């Protein structure tokens, strides 16, 4: 196991950032730095408020280390903790594994429904029932082949006592309509709220024909959903005014949200969302709100053409808390609730795919006031991140690695 330290050295009363592998990723004592993004934006769009993009840079003071616990996972996609501290990890190809915090990887867990793992599909996000110690139930999102194409589906099952198989797996929800337009934009994250119901993120499936469905309250794609553990609409969901609106909808107007997390202080849902060419977003998701896609966006088409009317603001549509241009491809997110690294308290950590780093966002009054990029020298596509029961951060990469990030 290779451990990479990140620490500070004080020489002749001058503060230098240093680490054993010549990686500079430290300092945060109220000092700010220029924005970490130095590449030109794809557009000349202007933010709606100061700090909405390219926030000041910050650096971590507390010495910390990263270590690779496992490197042979098969396209890991989702990661969550079991009650004993071990990690349950999904692999895009359709398997789950349990990994100890010492790096021991289990055999593949059998019994899961077949997945469509083409493109961006596969076995996606996963969460553990709050009563797992007594019921051993887990819930996951996957892309499923159905009549008429494929869908983002939610399933549940019981992890056997031997941990070798999933018993009585059942699909409890399908985000209709199905689409036969490719294998992109499934969304795919899932987590429990404080009332024992499930938040699920779905993508709008990317195609020009399905993109407008993100604005339709009669379709479950391009949404944040809130459902019960049996797949029914959760009590207390908002009501949308559109005729035929689905009762499981929590928010609308999303492109491809691949990260959701609960703020540890406010209890509100936050979300990361892939933009097109520019316009990746962090949103504070509120019940019944419309987050704009594809009507408003800070991105453009990959061809360089404007999207729709090329507007970034519209009455009745929410602004992102933060956006990136150029994109970093934000996937899984987690809030840091530990105290081992004090300056990370309540910060949002974002797994970045194309950016190949973990973004640390310092948030104050629901605005991003600082950004740092961690593990940027690892050259990995970070897919998901979580905080373990030991207060350390754990992240998985498309290349098959599991990282632990902890205080030195």
Give the CA-trace dihedral at 174, 177, 183, 184, to 10 degrees: -90
In angstroms, the CA 338 to CA 393 distance is 10
185 is catalytic: yes
Q: Choose among 34, 120, 23: nearest CA to 77.
A: 120
Which is catalytic among the residues 185, 254, 274, 357? Answer: 185
Q: How large is the greatest C-alpha to C-alpha distance in the chain, in angstroms?
A: 70
Spell out the residues 6+ positions from residue 349 whose beta carbon is closer than 8 angstroms to its own.
Answer: 333, 334, 335, 336, 358, 359, 360, 361, 374, 385, 393
In the sheet that holds 269-273, the strands lie side by side as 257-262, 269-273, 280-285, 322-324
Burial class (CB in 10 A: 0-12, 13-18, 19+), 175: buried
In angstroms, the CA 69 to CA 391 distance is 16
- The helix (run of H) or strand (run of E) holding residue 91 is strand 87-91
Q: Could you tell me if 39 and 324 are in contact, meaning their C-beta atoms sit under 8 angstroms apart? A: no
Residue whose structure tokens are 């690779």: 68
Q: Could you tell me if 356 and 378 are in contact, meaning their C-beta atoms sit under 8 angstroms apart? A: yes
Question: Alpha helix (H) ranges present in 252-379?
Answer: none
Return the bridge partners of 257, or none: 273
How is residue 219 written in tokens? 């379709």
**Which sequence positions are flagged as catalytic?**
185
């Amino acid at each position: 196991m290779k451990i990479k330290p990140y620490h500070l050295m004080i020489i002749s009363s001058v503060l230098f950032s240093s680490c054993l592998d010549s990686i500079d990723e430290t300092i945060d004592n109220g000092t700010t730095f220029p924005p970490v993004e130095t590449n030109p934006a794809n557009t000349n769009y202007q933010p709606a408020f100061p700090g909405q993009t390219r926030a000041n840079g910050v650096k971590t003071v507390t010495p910390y280390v990263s270590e690779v616990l496992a490197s042979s996972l098969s396209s890991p996609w989702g990661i969550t903790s079991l009650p004993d501290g071990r990690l349950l990890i999904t692999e895009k190809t359709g398997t789950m594994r349990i990994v100890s915090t010492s790096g021991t990887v289990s055999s593949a867990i059998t019994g899961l429904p077949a997945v469509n793992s083409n493109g961006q599909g596969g076995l996606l996000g996963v969460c553990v029932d709050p009563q797992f110690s007594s019921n051993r139930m887990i819930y996951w999102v996957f892309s499923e082949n159905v009549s008429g194409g494929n869908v983002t589906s939610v399933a549940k099952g019981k992890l056997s006592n031997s941990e070798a198989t999933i018993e009585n797996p059942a699909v409890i929800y399908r985000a209709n309509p199905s689409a036969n337009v490719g294998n992109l934009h499934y969304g795919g994250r899932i987590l429990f709220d404080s009332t024992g119901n499930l938040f699920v993120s779905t993508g709008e499936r990317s195609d020009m024909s399905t993109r407008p469905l993100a604005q339709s309250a009669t379709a479950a794609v391009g949404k944040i959903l809130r459902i019960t553990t049996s797949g029914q609409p959760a009590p207390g969901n908002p009501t949308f005014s559109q005729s035929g609106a689905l009762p499981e909808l929590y928010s609308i107007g999303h492109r491809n949200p691949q990260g959701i997390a609960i703020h540890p202080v406010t209890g509100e849902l936050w979300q990361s969302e892939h933009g097109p060419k520019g316009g990746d977003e962090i949103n504070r998701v509120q019940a019944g709100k419309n987050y704009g896609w594809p009507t408003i966006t800070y991105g453009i088409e990959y061809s360089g053409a404007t999207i729709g009317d090329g507007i970034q603001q519209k009455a009745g549509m929410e602004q992102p808390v933060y956006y990136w241009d150029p994109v970093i491809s934000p996937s899984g997110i987690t809030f840091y609730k530990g105290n081992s690294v004090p300056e990370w308290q309540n910060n949002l950590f974002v797994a970045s795919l194309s950016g190949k780093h973990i973004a640390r966002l310092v948030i104050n009054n629901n605005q991003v006031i600082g950004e740092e990029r961690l593990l940027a020298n690892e050259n990995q596509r970070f897919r998901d991140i979580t905080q373990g029961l030991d207060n350390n951060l754990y992240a998985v990469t498309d290349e098959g690695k599991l990282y632990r990030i902890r205080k030195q």
